[in-house]
Amino acid sequence: MPKAAVFNQEGEPLGETELSGSVFGTQVNEHLLYETTVIMRANRRVGTASTKTRAEVRGGGRKPWRQKGLGRARHGSIRSPLWRGGGVVFGPSPRDYRHALPRKARREALRSALSARAREGGIVVVEELSLERPRTAAVARLLERVGATGRTLLVTGRPDALVARSARNLPAVTSLPVTNLNVLDVMAHDRLVLTRDALTWLEEALAP
């Protein structure tokens, strides 16, 4: 059964807690993680890049010079792709890059990502994290005491604007509510700091 260290809000150790084996102790499906990562990155593409073909560029309706007799190359339009200011051949046009991933596959991929982090000892639990006002120093001190150095993902049980504002000035720290937790963020960070209510939500929501 995987375990994680537990700390209070001041960063003092409180012992260990057992993590759900069905969520944090599953076999890591590396191929599914790869597919999910590719699809999620594709879904984040805006797809608004656009160029004009020779039919869409303004002008060029008149033949620039007659076909024969001038010793010049034959041209039919100044908006040909050969000309400066002409159309673009096979250029990008607005499109949707989104791909669908079944719900079961998404859940299995998230379980695999969490299990990989748990296997590496990269998950820490904080009993409670509540701030009266935004305090970056308090969050930085907590993360330092729990050993969350490097790229850290701070996951709260519910959207918390004070925690988010406190953590956003820390360059290696990302804060988000547990309902927004995804494979990309889990794999992009070395350590996961979960509040107790976030851990409870994950174990209930991702149970197979």
Rounded to whole angstroms, what are the CA distances from 92 to 59, 60, 180?
Answer: 21, 22, 31
Where exactly are the structural domains of the chain?
3-45+100-205, 50-96
**Dihedrals phi, psi of 37, to nearest 5 degrees:** -65, -45
What mean pLDDT do residues 169-186 have? 94
Could you give the dihedral angle defined by the CA atoms of residues 106, 107, 112 and 117, in that order, rounded to the nearest 10 degrees? 100
* Mean per-residue pLDDT of the chain: 93
The tens digit of pLDDT for each residue in 25-58 reads 999 999 999 999 999 999 999 999 999 999 999 9
The tens digit of pLDDT for each residue in 95-152 reads 999 999 999 999 999 999 999 999 999 999 999 888 889 999 999 999 999 988 889 9
Helices 30-43 and 103-119, axial angle in degrees (round to 10): 120
In this predicted structure, what is the pLDDT of residue 1? 80
What mean pLDDT do residues 62-77 have? 95
The tens digit of pLDDT for each residue in 99-108 reads 999 999 999 9
* Domain 3-45+100-205 CATH class label: alpha beta
